[in-house]
Amino acid sequence: MYGYQGRLLIVDLSKRKDRTLELDEAFIKKWLGATGFGIRLLYELQDPGLDPLSPGNPLIFVTGPFAGTMVPCSPRFGVFAKSPQSWLLGEAYASGFWGTELKKAGYDGLAVLGASERPVYLYLEDGDVRFMDAAHLWGETTWRTEEAIRKDLGDHEIKIASIGPAGENLVRFACIINDRYRAAGRTGLGAVMGSKRLKAIAVVGSQPIAVAKPEELEDRCLELYRRLQGPGTSKYRMLGTVANVLVLNAAGCMPTRNYRDALFEGAYRVSGEALNEAFVSKVQACSACPMRCEHIATIQKGRFKGTSVRVEYEPLWALGPYCGIEDLEAIVKAIELCDLYGMDAVSSGVSIAFAMECSERGILTKLDTGGLEPTFGDAESLLALLEAIAFRKGIGSLLAEGVRRASKILGRGSEVFAMHVKGVEMTGYDVRSLKTCALGYAISRRGAHHQTHGAYSLDLSGKVDRFKAEKERGKLVKDLEDLYILYDSLTLCKFTRSIIGVEEMAELYYLVTGFRKSPLDLLRTAERISNMARLYNLREGLTRSDDALPPRIMKDPVPNGPAKGSLVKPEELELLIGAYYEARGWDGEGIPKPEKLLELELEDYDPRLIARTRMEA
């Protein structure tokens, strides 16, 4: 088999046993790669309706056909489980080198079942699986864990994915860190890993990854490498994603102070330009990447001397402007703490901003916060609360539940200030003036996230009127979702999207695998995967009411700037969601119609014939 290893490793931590599942050609063609494999396997391996932090929740790591080949920017991997935040589909992606190493170890994926009685880490080497004691690593940071495992095993080439104290303490937005600076960040999958008492997965492999047409693939990839070093990707090489700070601020769509504002007066002081001038010490790349977008910021002096971490827009936004903080050194330190403790920086910042607003409004008192008075702009409280969350100390234990659960527990009207979709905290685009993006957030299969659809690009590029809600947006978002599933399934970095489109994907897929799929075939496969995600969520209890936006988006208009007065009216959201359901071939409740399921070869998963299970999230 070309492009794929054709094998899934299944490890049962409860029984300390492993086995290999062969992936046949029919399965591979139908589900393509990481996203398709992950969602389909999760549906099959997980019993409906279980608690995400119970041993029965499988944790699935999956690569794609391009990983480990010469195809540029293709080392990504996906992680899947039932989310402890949404109690629906948990899905996250990371880049770096770990996914390629898993492929080289002989597997397209790894499914971890059960839970260990004591802390353990897995060591995978070319088909050999070892259960290693991790008692000495429990409580360590992710970076220290990487260093210790390499020392223990005597091999500095081993690639490691691990959790930190946040995952161990079941912080619901804990993440999984690999290759020091890369995170499978969203939907709380680090907490699932912690619930299994699985500290890390260390991988080393030397298995070949054969491709069908090596000479033709080499020629095509050389051309793509040249194009990926051209002007179409200069943003990522020059400043990185932090270039978005000034762009979004100028458009009046950068959420600030928990959506009180959409402009940040200190934007330049925390911009990509300021960061690169003062702190960026090196720019590096993932496996097989000619772009080098990974900007490492290092603080050379002062109280945070020695801090060194990769900085991207979303963490900088969440721990900076969203919390009203313009102390760039403190923001860089906060990002480092999130990586060390192993928790999603976006959800961390949004949860802390929620606490800041509740504190300013008197909903949280000094008695609640252990003497802290967190307010917008307070960098010291930000750093203190990050530690409190990671170790579930005091008010940190409440915030570690995420804003949806925290607001339910706290009450006192705090639900209005909890910015999430399906229990997953919002990311750095103010959708009140980005109507296409607003739809993308509302219907996203994994809660609030821009990377399932990228719909903000249509709004900000002027291809549509970002202030209007129109029926055509339904099909636009549907098509973008399917396109993004192709990038994720094939494990292509989305930063290649200006260079590698569906036509190039189809050509590369043939050269790598020998399987011919036209661009339309690929998009039809992506549509199948999109619907499979919906079917999983429906089985776990999703209803029409879950496709929604936070109340503040529909009640509090943008107060100033170029988007002043913008909000998403309830009737606009209904129009957008209805148009999306129609474009998808779903009924008015968001359930795929029988004819759509038949068309996509999913008739065996008809939710009308399968019992739904809804547990309290």
Structural domains of the chain in order of their starting residue, each with its CATH number: 7-204 (3.60.9.10), 229-425 (1.10.569.10), 433-605 (1.10.599.10)
Q: CB within 8 A of 371, min separation 6: which ones?
A: none
Q: CB within 8 A of 229, min separation 6: which ones?
A: 237, 290, 291
How many beta carbons lie within 10 A of that of residue 226, not counting itself? 12
Is 112:59 a contact under the CB 8 Å cutoff?
yes
β pairing state of 109-113 and 7-12 = parallel
Cross-strand partners of 177: 162, 183
Is 112:96 a contact under the CB 8 Å cutoff?
no
Residues lower than pLDDT 70 in the chain: 615-617
Dist. CA 147–CA 160, nearest whole Å = 9
- Single-letter code of the amino acid located at 222: L
Using left for φ > 0, alpha for ψ between -120 and 50, and beta otherwise, residue 174 falls in beta
Give the pLDDT confidence score for residue 165 in this predicted structure. 98
Dist. CA 516–CA 52, nearest whole Å = 38
How many beta carbons lie within 10 A of that of residue 544, not counting itself? 14
Give the pLDDT confidence score for residue 237 in this predicted structure. 86
Dist. CA 310–CA 287, nearest whole Å = 16
Which has the closest alpha carbon to 279: 304, 259, 249? Answer: 304
CA torsion 218-220-221-224 (nearest 10°) is 160
Burial of 169 (0-12, 13-18, 19+ CB in 10 A): buried
Dist. CA 215–CA 192, nearest whole Å = 43
As a three-state string, the secondary structure of 98-129 is HHHHHHHCCCCEEEEECCCCCCEEEEEECCEE
List, for residues 413-453, the tens digit of each pLDDT value. 999 999 999 999 999 999 999 999 999 999 999 999 999 99
Kindly report the backbone phi and psi dihedral angles of residue 171, in degrees, each rounded to the nearest multiple of 5, phi listed first. -60, 125
β pairing state of 120-125 and 128-133 = antiparallel
DSSP single-letter state for residue 33: S
Is 222:71 a contact under the CB 8 Å cutoff?
no
